[in-house]
Chain A
Amino acid sequence: MKINPRYYPAIIIAAYVIFLLLGILLGFGPERGGEGHGNSALIQIAFATMETLA
């Protein structure tokens, strides 16, 4: 399917914004108060699941 070149910049920007928001929603958000050493909620669940399975 052909895409009108007019829409190409919008596709790129939309993809970037959507995936950025997805990342933030997954818990990889900016941290206040300096460098982060904590885990995102997603990673905590993943680690907990792995520990349970082990």
Chain B
Amino acid sequence: MTTVIREKPFSLAKSRRVIQWLAVIGTFVLGLRHIMPGEASRGGSFDSFCAFGGIETLLPYLSTGHLLKSTNLLNFSVLIATLGVSLVAGRAFCGWLCGLGALQDFIAEWTRKLLGERHHIRGKQSKAILPLRLPAAVDRPLRYAKYFVLVIILFASLYTAFPPLREFCPVRAVFSLKMTPLLWLALGIFLAGSILVERFWCKYLCPLGATLAIFNKISPVRLVTDTNHCNNCGRCDIECSMGIADVPINLDHPECVRCMECLNTCARDGSLTIQIRNKENVT
């Protein structure tokens, strides 16, 4: 009698969910660590673990040799790590490693469940009324807001003592556990926005996402559509949390966070594959 050992099917979605939970818990632990006494003796403030803090403090550092208050050199290492991931795999940091991005995915999922969607069927339009998908006429111009936010912050960083986003930053509002009235406001807007629109912060306001968007065009690890297999069923469009239209022909879209939900949802084997960019598969 022979024993057949079946390999457990691999789920990219489950792996992502585990990594996202670890990102949320890790960021929460960082916040917890900084409400304990003796914060300064343990490697700097909560802000010093922020990749965007590295961008905020870069221009002042290069022009004056001094870092903005509440940041330190570690910000540059975290920034280098974030840029490194993006250089390899596009905006995968946003889709896999960002605690705030993960929280938005969870909020969208919980909202759908609360509003009546008991079991989510991949590739099928949700019956829940929230989160909404804004009409293209509203959605498209709003997407440019994050680039505007980035430019304003870079400009302001030359004239401020603290990182300009610090007082409004939703990461601090959610995870730092040191609240101010402005942070309560930021938290309220973040929660309401995330309930109303999936990945609200990433789509419209995140300046780090705006910085990383360019990497989708140059990263070697990317998704590729096999047009011989794809039948344009639209299942991937429904599942895209960033609301990208016509996913199979927009796989290098600057808004794509490389969450691979399209790949998970695709019902036709071989239609979407992860590949290393070479001369043949550059579109």
State whether these chains interact: yes
Bound CA span A5–B221, Å = 11
Instruction: For the complex formed, measure the closest distance between the CB of B35 and the CB atoms of chain A, giving whole angstroms.
Output: 16
Contact with B along A14-48 (1 / 0, CB 8 A): 01111110111011111111111111100000010
- The contact of B276 among A1, A13, A15, A20, by CB within 8 Å, is A1
Instruction: For the complex formed, measure the closest distance between the CB of B128 and the CB atoms of chain A, giving whole angstroms.
Output: 28
> Contact: B84 with A18, CB < 8 Å?
yes
Chain B's interface: helix, strand, loop or mixed, by majority? helix
Give the number of A-B contacts (CB < 8 Å): 128
Residues in B with CB closer than 8 Å to A1 are: 275-276, 278
Q: With A9-B12, A23-B77, A32-B43 as given contacts, are A3 and B275 in contact (CB-CB < 8 Å)? A: yes
> Contact: A15 with B88, CB < 8 Å?
yes
Q: Which residue of A lies closest to B275 (CB)?
A: A2
Asked if B67 CB lies within 8 Å of chain A CBs, one says yes
Q: With A1-B278, A3-B274, A11-B221 as given contacts, are A19 and B81 in contact (CB-CB < 8 Å)? A: yes
Instruction: For the complex formed, measure the closest distance between the CB of A13 and the CB atoms of chain B, giving whole angstroms.
Output: 7
Q: Which residue of A lies closest to B270 (CB)?
A: A2
Bound CA span A19–B85, Å = 8
Q: Interface-forming stretch among B68-76, B143-151, B236-244?
A: B68-76
List B residues at the A interface (Cβ < 8 Å). 10, 12, 15-16, 19, 40-45, 48, 65-67, 69-85, 87-89, 92-93, 96-97, 221, 260, 263, 273-276, 278
Closest 7 CB pairs of A and B: A19-B84, A23-B77, A30-B43, A36-B72, A23-B80, A20-B81, A28-B76
Q: List 8 A-B contacts (CB under 8 A).
A: A12-B85, A19-B84, A23-B77, A26-B77, A27-B73, A28-B77, A35-B44, A35-B71
